[in-house]
Structure 1
Amino acid sequence: MNSGQKKRNFQIEAFKHKVVVDPKYADKTWKIIEHAIHEIYNHNASGLSFEELYRNAYNMVLHKFGEKLYSGLVATMTLHLQTMSKSIEAAQGASFLEELNAKWGDHNKALQMIRDILMYMDRTFIPSTHKTPIHELGLNLWRDNVIHSINIQPRLQNTVLDLIYQERTGEVINRGLMRNIIKMLMDLGPSVYQEDFEKPFLEVSADFYRAESQEFIECSDCGDYLKKAERRLNEEIDRVSHYLDARSEEKITNVVEKEMIANHMLRLVHMENSGLVKMFLDDKFEDLGRMYSLFRRIPDGLLTIRDVMTTHLRDTGKQLVTDPEKSKNPVEFVDLLLEKRDKYDKIISSAFGNDKTFQNGLNSSFEYFINLNQRSPEYISLFVDDKLRKGLKGVKDEDIETILDKVMMLFRYLQEKDVFEKYYKQHLAKRLLSGKTISEDAERSLIVKLKTECGYQFTSKLEGMFTDMKTSQDAMQGFYAAHGSELTNSPTLVVQVLTTGSWPTQSSVACNMPAEISALCERFRSYYLGTHTGRRLTWQTNMGAADLRATFANDQKYELNVSTYQMCVLMLFNSSESLSYKEIEQATEIPAADLKRCLQSLACVKGKNVLRKDPMSKDIGADDAFSVNDRFTSKLRKVKIGTVVAQKESEPEKMETRQRVEEDRKPQIEAAIVRIMKARKVLDHNNVIAEVTKQLQPRFLANPGEIKKRVESLIERDFLERDNVDRRLYRYLA
């Protein structure tokens, strides 16, 4: 067709001439079709000519007898369904559902054949007259004449619900038959399924589980009850997958969850000797996992578990950190904290699906109770000190890394990180100066972790300590290169020169060293100050160590590894047989606390008692007398005599450290105030407190009273001023 040609519409019209129709045509034709429908329902369809029947139905519609054909179909089908209904009603016992299923199958087959015969009516007459399509009509008639029959409807409902009850009580039922019956109800429409089955099914299920849960909870512990609840829930999900509508799953599981879990939630959680706390105590990971998976299905279920967990954690944690017995040994104290953290980490990862909200609850609980003990920063540093000292047998590098990572986890909880820094610096100094560290790599690894956590400023001084150790080695090489020939018969001297700002500030107490050592020290001083200008040296004898050659009775010779203080004490006995405590104190001028520890380690430790004390006791008294223990023997030629370590600070020392920390905080608080005020120009008192606290939180928890004092100090020094009208407003003075 050329594009220029006009488009034609074709239409097929009926013949113009009038077709003469037999007046009895409609009745005759309907009789043929009616007979065929009877034959179909009577299982005699094999002898029918479906082509001829289709043509007859087609002609009836064409000749405007569609109404007669439709109403005849309704009447005939209704007749057969009423007969089927009576047959189903007559069925007894188990055969009732079988008969219903069989007749439903027959009706569906018949409906398909009838629909084939009446296809033309279904496609033309029915839509134009807004009547119900044949398939839907067949379902509706089945519903009205069979399913909703007064003798079938209640019986069907009771039978189906009774079979489900039997299955719940452990009996085996015909699931295939149940699937067909339920499918039939679903095919009849959502309202039939819901009204005739689902609604009563949910009601009786609620009653069943209400009664069963009450019975279970009276005779089961929490773990067993949860197993039963989980099994029931899985059974219902399985039941839905086998023969119920998939949309029923949420409804029936909600029933089980409500009746078996939600209604007994608090009783289960707090059940004596088997509830949630008991599960925590006994490491019942499987039961905890089951409780988590069941409780997450119900409103506030996980919140309830989390609240109990955090309350229990806080209570037990508080007991741990405030128990004087557990606080006696700092290493054991931190070990207990790490054990608790590992335990709950494992619970959250293996039982609570790594739930972030539980992890947050764990962290907030630890932060709460760790900070209840003011000594936690000191104890964590002492724990690190213990692990990083030499002599940890069989500890691999990766094990040390794991320990350090765990320590960092506890460190994050500390509100007073600057207090930890104070102690850590002291302990690191002792390890470096005595050479008692498991590895420099491990030391540096922890400093990297601290730097990552708190920034460069936190660790700059710690890194300076390592630098000093290296430069000290170089200084000693230079000293012996310059004076080595003159020192052939002198004791060997090793000096570590420490930068004052990097190392812990030590109160410099003069200790009287033996003459030969004192002369050697003076020679080093002259060398060092001669090679460096503008420097000053102060001897820190309390931080040193010495190796002494000692000869006892029967010419027994040993090499003693001692502290500088111990060396000063022992060398007094080269010129004296016996000395009193007071004489030793006067001769050495060692501070009393250090001298007592020094003498305890020399006279009161079995196997290391190179001195004899009179009277013999562990405590050192002012009138005690000391002499060389001629009977001293040891299997080792080299004997290391450690000082009786004051692992924890004494109360006065603790107060002194706290005072130093408070002093160190003052400039930090002032710097934060100035930074904030410089940016904001004008700010009220409460916001200054809030912003300073927030800014300093990574290092310590600032005291509002101290912040107020620092503000007053800055006002006095003309950094800030008060507003003339509102005295609570501060202004920054540029």
Structure 2
Amino acid sequence: MTMNQRSTIDLEQGWDFMQNGITKLKNILEGLPEPQFSSEDYMMLYTTIYNMCTQKPPHDYSQQLYDKYKEAFQEYITTTVLPSLKEKHDEFMLRELVQRWSNHKIMVRWLSRFFHYLDRYFVARRSLPILREVGLSCFRDLVYVELSGKVKDAVISLIDQEREGEQIDRALLKNVLDIFVEIGMGQMEYYENDFEAALLNDTAAYYSRKASNWILDDSCPDYMLKAEECLKREKDRVAHYLHSSSETKLLEKVQHELLSVYATQLLEKEHSGCHALLRDDKVDDLSRMYRLFSKIPRGLEPVAQIFKQHVTAEGTALVKQAEDAASTKKAEKRDVIGLQEQVFVRKVIELHDKFMAYVNDCFLNHTLFHKALKEAFEVFCNKGVAGSSSAELLATFCDNILKKGGSEKLSDEAIEETLEKVVKLLAYISDKDLFAEFYRKKLARRLLFDKSANDEHERSILTKLKQQCGGQFTSKMEGMVTDLTLARENQASFEEYLSNSPNANPGIDLTVTVLTTGFWPSYKSFDLNLPAEMAAALLLFNASDRLSYQEIMTQLNLSDDDVIRLLHSLSCARYKILTKEPNTKTISPTDIFEFNSKFTDKMRRIKIPLPPVDEKKKVIEDVDKDRRYAIDASIVRIMKSRKVLGYQQLVMECVEQLGRMFKPDVKAIKKRIEDLITRDYLERDKENPNLFKYLA
């Protein structure tokens, strides 16, 4: 028969046929002996619906079939599914629920295939929920809504049993929780509102109970081990049966109860808190502390604070130790500057190595801990020892490493490494310009007296200093090293010239070093009355046996300071070339000198060194002078660009600009501002004396 001639199927007759198919499906699901659907069965059911939906009105039964599809589920759930669930409890109820949900999804899949024609035309045209959604929402409205509270309680009870160490069926929980997710049909609200919220509350309460006991009984390391283990297990729970979106929220709850609530108590536990772990070098525990506290909001700040206090205390103890040793030495009248300070710098380097390793390894290079280390070192590195500033101590330390016969006997690699570390320490010193001046003075002495052990090292530390403090910092020093290299070449050419020219013979060994004025530490120039031969002071005694201090001074045309140093070296030092009356250890303007004809020495050649000048005072004066210029330049620079500026702002910008080289004293800045006003660089505002204007 053709399409047009087929007989009309009425609703009741058609539905009876469909009902048979649905009953067959239910029997299969209930596990009753029922043969599976053949493709013929399936086609018959599908075609029946197709025909009933394509008959001419009033025999188009689309709406009625759509309703009956839903009723089929409702009827099955009410008569069979709900009663079977309600008679079971706890884990048995959960197992039944998983089975029923699985069956329900199968039923939805089959029925929505039988009724598929509705989905294609009727549902689409009327914008109704599709068949799958209708099927799933039947289960949601009749089963889920009724039982989700009980299900949630049963699941949470099992989770708590597992937390207490009991074995539970994790696969079952995974299947139950999947229902909460799937019921949302793409939305997470059912899982979140009907299960997760309660889980989070229960978790918080559970760990709150645990923590309140542990904090009383356990040491900080033991407590942290437990906390880390709990976090690991909760993460594991998510991996096995909770939805992945719960991980962050769950861990936050645990972290809050175990760590945030007790952070202060934990870190400050008397015999096992953060201070104690640092004191006893408990590297593993400190790493664990970092791992745990990095997870809670602002959790690392108190740890970094304690780290800073600890490092400051250790460093300050080193300063005190060095001070005590120095004062003992003073009392014993032994060499005060020198060895003790070298030991101090060496210990500060060791301390830096130790705590830098903590920052790298335990605290994973976190900026908070770099900052804490920096601030701690800035505190005690700027204290100085026994009247010597850290800037001077570091410069002396370098001098000792770099000069021939220094107290440190090190391999080339060790020297490089140590210099690297000294430059790192310099970063913490506020008076970098003072270091530069001391370093330059000592460098000058090493170079001019040929005391430098190795040119490579000299250049290498300058490179390091340049990277740390900028090119301006090292330009003069680099110039000094270059001067010496050139001087050596000149000397070699001069000696070659002498050996090749028989007529040119000065008769004495002559070494000349030509220096560039701007590079080297400033020196006084004087018009010495030069004799025809060298060794000016002694030649005076060729003409006279006895000479007074005043006569020597006049004949040589030298200043007091220089004459005193010269005569001291000849009459009071190791080699007594001149004898003096009275025979004292100091030179005074009334002394008389005589050539010591009895003087002999095993050596053919002797070197008579001049006594050292008080270098420290001179360096500090020079640096102070340079600082005045630097402050002037900075103020003028700032005012030139800003034209008008308030006092506070000017001081602040000036401190910021100069901070890389030294910490300018606010009083000094004020003084320089006054000076610049008198020199007509700036003027005060008539109305507001705290406001300055730049005068171009």
> Which residue identity does 2:47 align to in structure 1?
R
Query: Kindly tell me: are residues 642 and 69 of structure 1, through their superposed partners in 2, closer, same or farther at Cα, counting changes over 3 Å?
Result: farther
Q: Deviations over 1:24-81 (max 9, x none)?
A: x321221121122111111135256111111122223333223443443333323322
The C-alpha deviation readout for 1:332-367, integer Å capped at 9, x for no partner, is: 222232223223322222232322343233323333
Asked whether 1:175 is paired with 2:173, we answer no
Q: Distance in 2 between matches of 1:336 and 1:290?
A: 28
Equivalent-residue separation in structure 2 for 1:487 and 1:520 (angstroms): 20
* SS of the residue 2:442 aligns to: helix
CA contact (8 A) 1:390 1:437 kept: yes
1:342 aligns to 2:366 (yes or no): no
* Letter aligned with residue 262 of structure 1: S
Q: Aligned to 1:299, what secondary structure does the other structure show?
A: coil
Aligned to 1:354: 365
For residues 401 and 541 of structure 1, do their structure 2 counterparts lie closer, same or farther at Cα, with a shift above 3 Å needed? farther
Match of 2:574, SS state, is: helix
Match among 33, 41, 45 for residue 53 of structure 1: 45
**CA distances 1:550-600 after superposition (whole Å, capped 9, x unpaired):** xxxxxxxxxxxxxx949963332x899xx999445459999xxxxxxxxxx
Task: Provide, for residues 415-450 of structure 1, a one-character-per-residue CA deviation record: whole Å limited to 9, x for no partner.
Answer: 212211221122223322443333111112222333
1:46 is paired with a residue whose SS is coil
In the alignment, the residues of structure 2 paired with residue 247 and residue 280 of structure 1 have an alpha-carbon distance, to the nearest angstrom, of 38
Tell whether the 8 Å contact from 1:206 to 1:259 is kept in structure 2 after alignment.
yes
1:431 aligned partner: 446
CA distance in structure 2 between the aligned counterparts of 1:499 and 1:581, rounded to whole angstroms: 43
Alignment of 1:290-329 (within 5 A): 290-321=288-319, 325=323, 328=326, 329=340
Q: Is the 8 A contact 1:465 1:503 kept in 2?
A: yes
Residue 34 of structure 1 contacts residue 73 of structure 1 at CA under 8 Å; is this kept in 2? no
Give the Cα–Cα distance (whole angstroms) in 1 for the partners of residues 318 and 169 of structure 2: 60
Given the alignment of the two structures, is residue 226 of structure 1 paired with residue 224 of structure 2, yes or no?
Answer: yes
> 1:378 maps to what in 2?
392
Corresponding residue number in structure 1 for 2:344: 333
The answer on whether the counterparts of 2:322 and 2:344 sit within 8 Å (CA) in structure 1 is no
Preserved contact between residue 34 and residue 72 of structure 1 (Cα < 8 Å) = no
- SS of structure 2 residue aligned to 1:668: helix
Per the alignment, residue 39 of structure 1 pairs with 24
In structure 2, which of residues 109, 118, 122 is the aligned counterpart of residue 125 of structure 1? 122
Which of the residues 73, 97, 100 maps onto 1:103?
Answer: 100
Task: Give the counterpart letter for 1:116 in structure 2.
Answer: R
Q: Which residue of 2 aligns with 1:30?
A: 15
Compared CA separation, residues 458 and 142, structure 1 to 2 (3 A): closer
Partner of 2:535: helix, strand, or coil? helix
Q: CA RMSD in A?
A: 4.4
Amino acid at match of 1:135: R
Question: Which of 56, 73, 80 is the aligned partner of 1:77?
Answer: 73
Question: For 1:131 and 1:331, how far apart are their aligned partners in 2?
Answer: 89
- 1:88–1:96 CA contact under 8 A, matched in 2: yes
Give 1:709's aligned residue.
671
8 Å CA contact 1:326–1:332 kept in 2: the answer is no
Q: What are the superposed Cα offsets for residues 181-225 of structure 1, whole Å, 9 maximum, x if unpaired? A: 111221111343234322221121111111112222222222222
Q: 1:41, 1:107 within 8 Å by CA — same for their partners in 2?
A: no
| Aligned counterpart, 1:147 | 144
Check 1:28–1:485 CA distance in 2 against 1; reply closer, same or farther (3 A cut): closer
Cα deviation, residue 297, structure 1: 2.2
Name the TM-score, length of structure 2 as normaliser: 0.78
Alignment partner of 2:434: what SS?
helix
Q: Is the 1:493–1:520 Cα contact (8 Å) retained in structure 2?
A: no
Report the Cα distance in structure 1 between the residues aligned to 2:607 and 2:505, rounded to whole angstroms. Answer: 31
Other structure's SS at 1:431 match:
helix
Cα separation, 2, equivalents of 1:409 and 1:282: 26
Q: Given residue 671 of structure 2, which amino acid in structure 1 is its aligned partner? A: K
Partner of 1:274: 272
Which residues of 2 match residues 458-477 of structure 1 at below 5 A? 458-470=473-485, 473=488, 474=490
CA 1:222–1:541: 2 relative to 1, 3 Å? farther
- Does residue 210 of the first structure (1) align with residue 227 of the second (2)? no
Q: Which amino acid aligns with 2:453?
A: I
Instruction: Note if contact 1:54-1:118 (Cα within 8 Å) is conserved in structure 2.
Output: yes
Letter of the 1:571 partner, please give it.
Y
Change in 2 beyond 3 A, CA 1:589/1:186? farther
Asked if 1 retains the 8 angstrom alpha-carbon contact of 2:569 and 2:608, the reply is no
For residue 64 of structure 1, the aligned residue among 60, 63, 85 is 60
Rounded Cα–Cα distance in structure 2 between residues aligned with 1:415 and 1:288: 31
Q: Secondary structure at the match of 1:247?
A: helix
Contact 1:377 1:416 survives alignment (8 Å)? yes
Give the 3-state SS of the residue equivalent to 2:200 in structure 1. Answer: helix
Report the alpha carbon displacement of residue 381 of structure 1 after superposing the two structures with TM.
Answer: 0.9
Shift of 1:109: 1.8
| Partner of residue 163, structure 1 | 158
Counterpart of 1:608 in structure 2 is none
Question: What is the identity, as a one-letter code, of the residue corresponding to 1:60?
Answer: M
Q: Cα gap change, 1:543/1:99 in structure 2, threshold over 3 Å: closer, same or farther?
A: farther
Alignment of 1:544-563 (within 5 A): none
Q: Which amino acid aligns with 2:363?
A: F
**8 A Cα contact 2:632 2:676, kept in partner:** yes
Tell whether the 8 Å contact from 1:363 to 1:413 is kept in structure 2 after alignment: yes
Q: Which residue of 1 aligns with 2:464?
A: 449
Deviations 1:664-690 (A, max 9, x none): 322333333344444555544444433
- Aligned partner of 2:337 in structure 1 is none
Instruction: Provide the rounded CA distance (Å) in 2 between the counterparts of 1:124 and 1:192.
Output: 31
**Which stretches in structure 1 are left out of the alignment for 5+ residues?**
1-13, 511-515, 524-535, 545-563, 591-626
- Where do residues 292-691 of structure 1 align in structure 2 (5 Å cutoff)? 292-321=290-319, 325=323, 328=326, 329-373=340-384, 375-391=389-405, 395-470=410-485, 473=488, 474=490, 478=494, 481=498, 502-504=519-521, 518=535, 565=569, 569-572=573-576, 582-586=583-587, 657-691=619-653
Q: Is the 8 A contact 2:444 2:480 kept in 1?
A: yes
> 1:177/1:309 Cα in 2 relative to 1: closer, same or farther (>3 Å)?
same
2:181 maps to amino acid: M
Shift in Å at residue 252 of structure 1? 1.0
* Structure-2 separation of matches of 1:164 and 1:642: 90
Structure 1 CA distance for aligned equivalents of residues 60 and 539 of structure 2: 134
**Aligned partner of residue 172 in structure 1, secondary structure:** coil
In the alignment, the residues of structure 2 paired with residue 468 and residue 521 of structure 1 have an alpha-carbon distance, to the nearest angstrom, of 31
Deviations 1:229-263 (A, max 9, x none): 22222222221122221211122112111111111
Equivalent residue number for residue 553 of structure 2: none
Q: Distance in 2 between matches of 1:365 and 1:401?
A: 25
Structure 2, unaligned runs of 5 or more = 29-33, 327-339, 528-532, 541-556, 592-597
How far apart, CA to CA, are the structure 2 residues paired with 1:460 and 1:541? Answer: 34
**In 1, distance between residues paired with 2:267 and 2:143?**
50
8 Å contact from structure 1 (residues 330, 380) kept in 2: no
**Which amino acid in the other structure matches residue 27 of structure 2?**
N
Q: For residue 558 of structure 1, what is the aligned residue in structure 2?
A: none
- Rate the CA distance shift 1:508–1:275 in 2: closer, same or farther, 3 A: farther
Provide Cα deviations, 1:680-706, integer angstroms capped at 9, x if missing partner. 555444444334333333322222322
Q: Identity rate of aligned residues, in percent?
A: 32
* Secondary structure at the counterpart of residue 60 of structure 2: coil
